[in-house]
Structure 1
């Protein structure tokens, strides 16, 4: 192109900001010759380059990509190659990635993301980041789809490049992204139900790494199209929860052309919100300075907020997207580094929460470039951080050190509420103070008015338990505790697990099936045992069963009925899990309160505790629990349901563990949908939904024993009656919780990671048992663990596998007997006995009757009675 006046074209040149300070002052071009530029040499002066460190300003390009190798990492990967054993079994990836299919460099990239996910999961910090908790799922899919694995390898290399600032590592990420994009395009061409999860996984992984506007929008619009196409089978997808979230938050933004100029002008109220955010960051900075802690991270964020205020309508969509690049990088990479370095200290968590909060605040300023999507990714970490800080406060003996962090978290939580409101997600208004809520908004101390009906309890289509019921007028109690006896025993009784009395018991010592023999004494009828929660026999009885010497021995019903129910309940609970659609989980009885024993059963998802309900125990005058502290705020973000129906606390305790472990346990689509549907409900409404769940009701009542007799009588329980109750203990979000539907809120017992659960739960159980008299032994503990058959197959223990398969077979037989109605059998036996007597003639029949009236018996009968009494 000709220059001005038609002369020769101007020579192109590039601008540089790296010239020496002397040349800059003279406004002349510096040749940047190091360590002395030619201009300074010409003017015979010392060049400022002489005073600059060579390595800092003129770093030599590395010859090899920096993947943060250590001798320990190299040894682990070599061992992985030699043995084929994945270094991170706690991620439960089966089958694990086969090392022979990957280069040593690729194995390092897999090792990196897996180690990050494993480390944060071990400290229950995975929910404080956007991506680490998803790594196991991505790895599982990547084993079958190479383009997904390449996208994951690119993510790992991108993270390492951010940590090391190594251009060669960034090139590795670029290469893997190219391969992943090519494979993704091919998979989209053959899109189907089978590869839909892989297409979605790769789209998400690549979108998280995109730093260019056009590429990111293409990926996000593709993601939206994939999610729309997956709607018919979304419940089968491994990304079901993510797909559900996208119905609330937009996946892709509008698509103005990158050069489009007419974008929205920042509103004054949005700029004011930004100023408020800056003021809040100043408070965080002052807090850190007061504690003598590093303020670089918060000052970096403050600088970003100041720069964002410069956004104007003249900026194109591409320019606005580029303005947010630093924040996006921080959101993805900074939390991992912070959590690894600080182990989740309160100050570090507060800083991370404010990074996520800034993503929410800037969303109105950048609506055209997908800020809402990145804001939505920040919601869960903010809420989980707030929950963790509250749990730390609960677990400490003194809360003085936590008041400032809790106060600083008020602002992020308020921004979460405002963001949800802007997105159209209506939610109940939060109380004024977080996380200490003002009392219990949904007290269960009062019964519902009879005019209100929230569920079809009177519907004959529901299956009612047909056990003998009784009620007890409740003593005056505080709202902090609810007796199971206050629940209406007739209209709410359909979820009852029936009594085990009267059905056969399989004696494993021989192949013969010996029915349980029960003799009822009418003189003891006033001592009826109400097993409404445990489903024990309702009459005082002497139960005779086979002992190890095959002789009959008589036991008190109050003890033997409990032991028998425990024996059968392992099978009942385990098959309840199977029928609910839960995979690879079973129950094991805890025979000792020993942390080492419990750890051997690991992974342990939770413990269900059965105990005699203390009807005479008085509640604390101040409304606090006997042990631990009520966490009313937790009930909003974890699954906690009030028990609104009698005789279902066992199933409810089981669900309390399951629905809080959906990340570790495959609970199946129906239970996932149930949890999602009740996510925003208060505890008592969740209880009502539980009682109305057709799946839960049908599965629960599938163990009911059919009977032609219905006993609808009721009586009032006395102090002599025994009432039993199930509660659950599990670790959620770094806190050990006691989940009891008869309490107004979850009870926090201090900090506890998933791995620490065996050590932390034992002292809590010991304190609970210690509240009873020393002679009380009626307790039982069931541990919810991974299917032991899986471990047996993993280690090749055929003997253990056989035992577990045999145990399952025995449980299945016992459950079949449990459901069986023996009335017809008993009638046929009675008719056969009478027929045999009649065949012997009237004299034999009358003789037998006269002998019984006189209390006498023949020698054979006497021997039989002695054996049975012995």
Structure 2
């Protein structure tokens, strides 16, 4: 395993530093708990405020209503686990929000019951409480969401159990679990889309804030949760893409840097993986070990054979940068090599997770190549268009549905005309659309 690179670490820390939670609205001292958590002004209507009615949530004012029966409090000797403690975070207009594993260690993993104490890590924040909506998100994640996350049943089970149990000790991970669950529910329940998107933004921002502090003290204990977080935040970045608008995964097509800078999230995820590589021995022998098993004995210098048609397409693609400078040619050749490897592994290693093979591309491409993409360098865009061919194979996963087509169309619009010789094949594969001969 390669050691962490200073550039990648700086990218991770820098990206996290620049993505700030939003400014809070003025608190209402007499408002309901739910409105306070959302940082919105409560109308204080009884027995339930209008804001809670519009969000479809149970208002805390019901707790004091004469017809409302309040259940008895838990016995005083019980303790609330650290995961049940999100801090309300500032929210405003929606911003872009941001792949696992062996049986859990019975000595450190606790059950999810709020009435059972959980051993707190030194970095855990003081206890607070989750809402019923938050518990709904956790329930959805463990019963439904994880089934649609991987094709491999072993990895599905790890994300359903091990990752959640890790989150009991690491609140930043619990918040990200709830963030991605809320994104999925926003799709499945369009009548409550706005409410779920708000919940997702809230948990994502809180999780990121807590993660920033955790990653600065990376060790053999928290590295497993940090790895899971980096996987989920990557899922968040894809799920947050609106397929009805230009993709903003790599850059803002409108050149409006204030509107979107999604590539910071890619660098954050890449930098996180570089950071946790420093704890490699702990990772490959810990609760997340199963995710590394298929890759441990893979020779990084092996050849990457391709089917004849794909081989020809990649050879033709190199001709698009035959006249560029040596430094750019070196960068593009490196990115193409990683793209070839993805295509090759999908053909010759069918027993490995298709999702993991395809998504490793983001951790292998160089920072210099990402810089070219930010600059909308044509040949760098051509490589992404070819990568979209394999992204299309993930459309059965909920957070990838329509994303290959969306990314391809955005690349077409940004690239412009004059490159049809190299765009014809990927466009036909992804969009099933004929391109005029060049």
Q: TM class, shorter-chain normalised? A: 0.3 to 0.5
* Higher normalized strand content (fraction of residues): 1
* Higher normalized helix content (fraction of residues): 2
Structure 2 length as normaliser, TM-score? 0.40
